[in-house]
Structure 1
Amino acid sequence: MTDRPDLTNLPSYRQPRRSIFSARRIALMASVVAGLGIAVHGFSPSTSPSDLLSSPAHAQVNNEVRKVERPIGFADIVERVKPSVISVKVNIKEKIASNDDGDDSSSPFQPGSPMERFFRRFGGPDGFPGQKGGGGRGRVVQGQGSGFFISADGFAVTNNHVVDGADKVEVTTDDGKTYTAKVIGTDQRTDLALIKVEGSSNFPFAKLADGKPRIGDWVLAVGNPFGLGGTVTAGIVSASGRDIGNGPYDDFIQIDAPVNKGNSGGPAFDTNGEVMGVNTAIYSPSGGSVGIAFSIPASTVKTVVAQLKDKGSVSRGWIGVQIQPVTSDIADSLGMKKAEGALVAEPQANGPAAKAGIESGDVITSVNGEAVKDARELARTIGGLAPGATVKLNVLHKGQDKVVNLTLGQLPNTVEAKADTDKDSGKGASRGTDVPKLGMTVAPADSVAGAGKEGVVVTEVDPKSAAAERGFKEGDVILEVGGKSVSTAGDVREAINTARTDNKNSVLMRVKSGGQSRFVAVPIAKG
C-alpha cells in the first residue's frame, strides 16, 4: 500500500484555497454588477480560473475593484456631433381669402395637396402657427425645423417641407449664433432640401454614414423639438424599408428615439457619430411622440444632395410604366412560384418600356442582375439611376423569361393620366350579361357611352360577391382576362373556363378605372 503524504502539518494549504474562493466570489459579484451597467476592467469572456491563479489572489481582487467605472453613456458622442446640428426658422408670406366664419387653417400647404394630407396624417406641420396679418388679406406663416451641416463651408441638409416656399430662412447654430441661409435646391419626392449658410468657412459638420443600420442599433436624434434647440434623445432602430404612403420612393428607417414637431430635418446619429438618416415624420394620433418616427436613409440623402448641390434639382431615370405589386393571387394566376417582382399594369405610349417591347401583364423581376422584390423597389432602383443610362431588365413575359435592354428617359415632373372613361360611363347602359360566380354583369364597351371601344364595361356588381371584394365597381372596363383581350361577356366566360381547366385558383383581369389600369386576381370556383 502506497503511503499518502501527510498534509496535516501544512497550515498554509487551506488558507490560499479560501483566498482563491474569495477572489472568485468577488469576481462573480463584480461580473454581476457589470451586467447592471458597471464596467470592470481586466475581465472578459475569455478570463478563466487559471488566469486568476496566475497572480496573487488578493492583488488580483484589489486591482479589479479599483478599476470599476461608471456606466458608459452617449455624452462623448453628443459632445462631438451636437455642434453640427442647427435650428432652422422660416417666414412664408401668403395671400389668403377672408371668409365670414374666420376659419383659417394653420397649414401652409394647399388644401387637398399631397403635403397637406401628409401633415394631417402625421400630426400637423412642424411648428406652423399660422398668424394672420393685413386685415385678412394675407398672413406670415412662421415655421421651424432642424438641420445639420455637411461641409465646413456652410452647406446643410434639412427637409423640403421645412423650407418649402420660404421667403426668409435663418439658422441658429449650437453656440447661439444666427445666420441667414439660402435654399440651394429641394426635392419634394424625398422631402429633402439643401441650404447654404454664409458667414464662415469653418462650420462643424457631420458625416453621412456609408453602411445601412441594423434593426436594434442605437440611434441618437438631435434637433429643435417645439423650438427647444439642441435637444438629444436616444432609442434604437425599430425597422427599415418602411412605406408610409408619402410617395413611390418611400424607404424609411423607423426609430423609437422620441421625435416631435420641430425635429424635422434633423439628423439621426449612429454610435460612430455618423448620420444614419434625416428625421422626417412621426406617426402620432396626438401630434406628439409615441415612439414611432421615420428617417430618410443616408444613402438616399447622399444621392439627392449631390444632385441638388450640382444643379439645384434632381433628375431621375424613367422607363414609362404603370406598375403594381404582385400579390399571391396574381402570382398564382401567372403561374409564378413566388409573389415577387413588379407587374406592369400599362406601359406608357412612346415610353422607353413600350419601345423596348414591354407589355401589360409582364413582370419585371430584376434590374441589371439585381432581383426586384416588389413594385416599390423597382421604382426606387430606376429612380436612383441617371436618365440616359442603359439598363438590363429581366422580364416574365407570358410565362417565359426574357431579357430587355433599354435606355432610361427622364422622369417628368408631373405625370398626367388620360381618362378614357368619364364619370357617367355607366349611365344609359343596358343591364348587361351576367358573369356567373363572379357576381357582376358586363356589356361590350362600345355599346356604353363614354366607355371606349375596347373591352367590356361593368354595369352591375353584387355587393356580396368576389368581384366587389376585389374592388370592382360600375363603370370599370375589363380589357383582358387570363391574358386575352375580351370584348363580350362570352369572351370573359371562355377565359374563366380556360383558367379553371388549367387548375388555377384565380384568373387575372386587366381593368381600367378612371383612366388608370391595374391587374386584379379574381378567385374562381371549381366545377
Structure 2
Amino acid sequence: MHEESTFKYAATLAVVVAVLVAAYAMLGGNPLPTAHAVSPANSAAAVAAPAQTLPDFATIAARGGPAVVNISVSGTVKTAGMPQMDPDNPFFDFFRRFAPPAGEMIKRGQGSGFIVSPDGVVLTNAHVVADASEVNVKLTDKREFRAKVVGLDKPTDIAVLKIDARDLPSVRIGDPQRARVGEWVLAIGSPFGFENSVTAGIISAKSRSLPDEGYVPFIQTDVAINPGNSGGPLFNLDGEVIGINSQIYSRSGGYQGVSFAIPIDVAMKVQSQIREHGKVRRGRFGLTVQELDQGLADSFGLAKPTGALVNAVDPDGPAAKAGVRPGDVILKLNGKDVPNSSALPPMASELTPGSTAKLEMWRGGKKLELPVKVAELG
C-alpha cells in the first residue's frame, strides 16, 4: 500500500513538472541553465582571489593639498590702437569705433604653484608669472601674500617665487626616474580658478620631446589639466611630487586626454641654480643632431636606430676641437645611454660648463670615445 502511494505521488509530480515545463516553453521562456558542479579546489581559488582596489587618492590630496597654492597675476600690455589705413577702406569706420585707444591695458591671469620649503619658496611655471608686475599667492587657509619673483627660466618654463612666511606646509619631492608608464598619478591645481581641485590619471609616456622645448623630457599623462592648472604639482601614489603640470595638447583649448608635466628633478635643479646664481647655466657641445631611423642605422652598420646622429659641428665649438665629425652617432654621454637625438640636448645642458664629458660614439663601423670640454650655452 505504501509503495503504491509513493508510485502515484511520483507519477503525479512528474506530470506536474512536465506541464510546467511545457507552459514555460509555450510562453517563450528561455531554456533553463545547466547546473555545473564546482569542485572544492575551484571554490577555494575563487575565495582566495585578491580584491582590486583603487589608490587612496583622498589621503594624497589631504596631505599634499595644503602645500598647493593659487597664483593670481596682473600686469600691463601695450595696445597699438587703431591701425593705419585709408579712410576709404571698408573696415575704417569699424576700427575707428571699436579699436582700443593706443596705450596700456591691464592684463590679469591665474595659475597654480606649490611650496617646496617651509620658509616660503614656491615653484610654478614661468609662463604663469612672465611679464607680471604683481604676483599674489593664496594658500588653502585663505591667507594671501605678495610674492617676489626670484627668477624664471623660460627654456624649462620654471619660475621660483618667495613669500614672506614661515612654518608653511611643503611637498615631498619624489624621483621621476623611478616612475613607470601606467602608474597612477594625481594633480592638484586651480583649473578655471577653482582652487585646490584634484584630478587623477596615469602616466602615458616618459621623456616626451615637444617643439621648441628641447631642454625638458616631459612626462605625458592623461590627467585632466585645464587653464589654471599650470604650475601645479603632479603626485605619485606615495604622495611625492614627480612633476609640474605645464602644457596640454588640445584642438579645442581644453583638456583632451594629453597632458605634459616637467619632471621635478629638472625643476629642482633649475630652482637651485636660480637661488644660487640668479640664472641657469647650461652646458653645450657646439653641434646639432638629427633623428636616426632604421635606414640610416643600417647604412652605418648599427644593429638598431639608437643614439643621436651628428649632422653639423660648430667649427669653433668644443665638439669640433675634440674631433667630433658630422656623421658620428653619439651612443652614450658619461656612460649614460643616449636613446635618441631629442635626449641629448637636456643631457648636455645639465653638464657644468668647464667640466670634461666623455662621448661614446659610433664611427666607421666601430666604437670610439672622445673627451669633450663643456662650454657654456650663451
Counterparts in 2 of 1:74 and 1:26: CA distance versus 1, 3 Å: farther
Counterparts in 2 of 1:201 and 1:327: CA distance versus 1, 3 Å: same
- Quick check: 1:408 aligned with 2:370? no
Could you say which residue in structure 2 is the equivalent of 1:77? 60
2:60 alignment partner, SS class: helix
Counterparts in 2 of 1:142 and 1:27: CA distance versus 1, 3 Å: farther
Separation in 2 of the partners of 1:30 and 1:297? 42
Where do 4+ consecutive residues of structure 1 move more than 6 Å? Answer: 24-32
RMSD over equivalenced CA pairs, Å: 2.5
Alpha-carbon displacement from aligned partner over 1:330-364 (angstroms, at most 9, x marks no partner): 22222322212111111112100111111222222
Alpha-carbon displacement from aligned partner over 1:35-77 (angstroms, at most 9, x marks no partner): 365xxxxxxxxxxxxxxxxxxxxxxxxxxxxxxxxx8732222
**Is 1:343–1:361's contact at 8 Å kept on the other side of the alignment?**
yes
From 182, 193, 196, the equivalent of 1:227 is 193
- Quick check: 1:140 aligned with 2:123? no
Q: CA deviation at 1:89?
A: 0.9
Alpha-carbon displacement from aligned partner over 1:78-131 (angstroms, at most 9, x marks no partner): 11110000011111211121135688xxxxxxxxxxxxxxxxxxxxxxxxxxxx
Aligned length in residues: 327
Could you say which residue in structure 1 is the equivalent of 2:272? 306
From 349, 355, 365, the equivalent of 2:331 is 365
From 170, 184, 193, the equivalent of 1:205 is 170
Could you say which residue in structure 2 is the equivalent of 1:338? 304
Q: CA deviation at 1:215?
A: 1.4
Give, as a single letter, the amino acid of the residue that structure 2 aligns with 1:98: G
**Is 1:322–1:345's contact at 8 Å kept on the other side of the alignment?**
yes
Counterparts in 2 of 1:27 and 1:167: CA distance versus 1, 3 Å: farther
Q: CA deviation at 1:307?
A: 0.8
Pairwise mapping of residues 73-472 of structure 1 onto structure 2 (< 5 A)?
73-100=56-83, 135-198=101-164, 200-210=165-175, 211-412=177-378
**Is 2:55–2:237's contact at 8 Å kept on the other side of the alignment?**
no
Give, as a single letter, the amino acid of the residue that structure 1 aligns with 2:343: E
Could you say which residue in structure 2 is the equivalent of 1:455? none
**Is 2:236–2:242's contact at 8 Å kept on the other side of the alignment?**
yes
Q: CA deviation at 1:27?
A: 8.7
**Is 1:219–1:270's contact at 8 Å kept on the other side of the alignment?**
yes
Q: CA deviation at 1:28?
A: 8.2
Give, as a single letter, the amino acid of the residue that structure 2 aligns with 1:35: A
Could you say which residue in structure 2 is the equivalent of 1:478? none
Alpha-carbon displacement from aligned partner over 1:401-428 (angstroms, at most 9, x marks no partner): 322112100012xxxxxxxxxxxxxxxx
Pairwise mapping of residues 6-21 of structure 1 onto structure 2 (< 5 A)?
none
Give, as a single letter, the amino acid of the residue that structure 1 aligns with 2:300: L
**Is 1:255–1:294's contact at 8 Å kept on the other side of the alignment?**
yes
Q: CA deviation at 1:292?
A: 1.5
Q: CA deviation at 1:145?
A: 0.5
**Residues 90-99 or 382-391, more deviating:** 90-99
Give, as a single letter, the amino acid of the residue that structure 1 aligns with 2:215: Y
Q: CA deviation at 1:370?
A: 2.0
Counterparts in 2 of 1:318 and 1:29: CA distance versus 1, 3 Å: closer
Normalising by structure 2, report the TM-score: 0.80
Question: Which structure has greater strand proportion?
Answer: 2
1:306 alignment partner, SS class: helix
Q: CA deviation at 1:269?
A: 0.8
**Is 1:212–1:276's contact at 8 Å kept on the other side of the alignment?**
no
Separation in 1 of the partners of 2:226 and 2:48? 39
Separation in 2 of the partners of 1:329 and 1:26? 56
Give, as a single letter, the amino acid of the residue that structure 1 aligns with 2:168: F
Q: CA deviation at 1:398?
A: 3.3
Identity percentage over the alignment?
38
Alpha-carbon displacement from aligned partner over 1:170-222 (angstroms, at most 9, x marks no partner): 01111111101011111111111111111x11111102102531112111100
Counterparts in 2 of 1:247 and 1:27: CA distance versus 1, 3 Å: same
From 35, 50, 68, the equivalent of 2:51 is 35
**Residues 391-400 or 253-262, more deviating:** 391-400
Q: Which has the higher contact order (CA 8 A, sep 6+)?
A: 2
Separation in 2 of the partners of 1:306 and 1:370? 23
Separation in 2 of the partners of 1:28 and 1:327? 49
Q: CA deviation at 1:167?
A: 0.8
